[in-house]
Amino acid sequence: MNHTILCVDDDPITLMLYKKVIVKAEFGDTILFAQNGEEALDLLKKIKNQDTDTSASQIPDIIFLDLNMPVMNGWDFLEHFSTDLSNENKQIKVIILSSTIDPSDYLRAKQYEVVKDFLSKPLTVEMLQNLKIE
């Protein structure tokens, strides 16, 4: 599949792993990175504000989002994304990738229409193959 993917995680090793897994699974042809929610929002706004075909092709189809990050965590990102950007980019699907085992996090994630799945770290090729993102 040829997706543009935005990976949002504060751990550089995790981001490197995401890239390797996505490439190995042939899941995405463009992979963007942000180390926290604020950086991700800034990147999305920057892409949106560029009126070129290049920027349109860089709008992510999928965002892999960690929850626990400094500066702006995943929950704060979802709040801003859901109110500020999702109306303009309804095609973007958010997949939470977290190490949390707290059942309340799963319930909270379901409150966001943009969240299509909640997966446990680490990301694997099998997870990508089984991902249903219609």
Domains observed in the chain: 1-24+56-123 (3.40.50.2300)
- From the list 22, 132, 42, the residue with the least C-alpha distance to 84 is 42
- pLDDT over 60 (residue 10): yes
Q: How far apart are CA 62 and CA 4, in angstroms?
A: 7
pLDDT of residue 134: 61
Q: Spell out the residues 6+ positions from residue 15 whose beta carbon is closer than 8 angstroms to its own.
A: 7, 9, 33, 35
First to last CA, the chain: 12
Tell whether omega for the bond before 122 is within 30 degrees of 0, i.e. cis. yes
Note if the pTM is more than 0.75. yes
pLDDT band at 121 (very low <50, low <70, confident <90, very high): very high
